[in-house]
Amino acid sequence: MTTATLTEAPVRAARRPALDWRLRFGVLSLIWGFSFLLIKVGTEGYAPFQVTLGRLVFGTLVLAAAMAVKRERLPRGVRTWGHLAVAGFLLNALPFSLFAYAELTIPSTLAGICNATSPLWGMVLSLVALSEDRPTRVRVAGLGLGFLGVLTVLGAWQGFSGLDGRGTAMALLASLSYPVGWIYVRRTLAGVGYSHISLTGAQLLLATLQLEVVTALFTGVPTHVDLLPLLAVAALGALGTGLAVLLQYGLVAEVGPTTAQMVTYFIPVIATGAGVALLGESLSWSTPVGAVVVLAGAALTQIRRRVRPEGWGPGDRR
């Protein structure tokens, strides 16, 4: 769930794509699962803000190309652009930067597992901010189980020894930023009348402009170009932030948001496998066990009474 955007909407009738939705679901899971590895590689050659800026630039270019092909226009209205600027900060600029800084000191495997806590944070916040989202015993139990899993991943019984607290806090804060942004979007951009691609293209554009300012203020110009980290950043943006959004749109339209969001539960598994196999990151027993508990708790928090979908709402996760 490394790319969060405006993605949940009523399912619309559309031509069935040539590629089966299960294959596209698998590709999306791989793209987002490998994103944490790409962040780690990118930060080996560039500053975190530079990695985030590059990611947003490449992602925005993909959305711009999709908008050109579909002949979509950017939304209009000062109020809409103001809300999109806040959404771009909460759903892209802030969490992307926090994950990049976090992975300077924590493994990509831990970052991927922290990302899976977004549904847990989302439930807590929705109970406060969304009056129609009522708690149930199952969801409350899932919340408690999920945070028990977090403590297991972090090795709480060992006093969190060997854990970088600052990096872990940044990763958890990044995961918290997603549901804050989702709730903001749900309350401010529901029913604005623009397509998903148009709104998300504008959102990424504004997030890119925000990072350009921040990067110019706090980061110097790279003195040399590291090819492998540059390729990682390009893949992170074009695939993990651009193509992934388009894939998710198609999945939501074809199989509905509930099924499409199941990708969330595959991301930490893939991120952990990639980090261990390709980066040689260590893995203690508590990490996979805790991750399973986190995912089980997150799944329980998503069980709710059936309601008719209304307009825009939280999408991935992402």
To 10 degrees, what angle do helices 227-237 and 48-70 make? 40
Residue 313: band (very low, low, confident or very high) from pLDDT cuts 50, 70, 90: very low
pLDDT, position 199: 93
Higher pLDDT: 17 or 166? It is 166
* Confidence band, pLDDT 50/70/90 cuts, at residue 133: low
Q: How far apart are CA 156 and CA 161, in angstroms?
A: 8
| pLDDT band (50, 70, 90) for residue 5 | low
The answer on pLDDT for 14 being more than 70 is: no
User: Who contacts 299 (Cβ-Cβ below 8 Å, separation ≥6)?
Assistant: 142, 265
Q: Kindly state the percentage of the chain with pLDDT values over 90.
A: 54
Chain segment 151-181, per-residue pLDDT in tens: 888 887 676 667 788 999 999 999 999 999 9
Cβ neighbours of residue 78 under 8 Å, at least 6 residues apart?
none
Exposure b/e, 261-285, CB count within 10 A at least 16 = b: bebbbbbbbbbbbbbbeeeebeeee
Task: Name the residue type at position 68.
Answer: A
Q: Helix 196-218 vs helix 94-102: angle between axes, to the nearest 10 degrees?
A: 50
Mean pLDDT of 27-52: 96
User: In 180-210, which positions are buried (b, 16+ CB within 10 angstroms) versus exposed (e)?
Assistant: bbbbbbbebbeebebbbbbbbbbbbbbbbeb
Q: What is the pLDDT of residue 128?
A: 75
Our measurement of the distance from residue 109's CA atom to the centroid of its chain's CA atoms, rounded to an integer in Å, reads 15
Give the pLDDT of residue 265: 84
Residues 257-288 have pLDDT tens digits of 777 778 888 899 999 999 999 999 988 888 88
SS3 category, 281 = coil
pLDDT of residue 180: 94
Position 237 pLDDT exceeds 90: yes
Please state whether 159 falls in left (phi above 0), alpha (psi between -120 and 50) or beta: left
* pLDDT mean across residues, the chain: 86
* DSSP bridge pairs for 8: 313
* Closest to 205 (Cα-Cα) out of 55, 5, 60, 6: 60
Query: Helices (DSSP H) in 72-195: which residue ranges?
Result: 78-88, 94-102, 108-115, 118-129, 137-154, 165-188
Given a cut of 50, is residue 318 above it in pLDDT? no
Q: How far apart are CA 191 and CA 172, in angstroms?
A: 31
How high is the pLDDT of residue 317? 43
Measure the CA–CA gap between 197 and 7, rounded to whole angstroms.
9
Measured in Å, how far apart are the chain's first and last C-alpha atoms? 2
Q: For 175-216, how does the pLDDT look when each residue is reduced to its tens digit (9 = 90+)?
A: 999 999 989 998 899 888 888 899 999 999 999 999 999 999
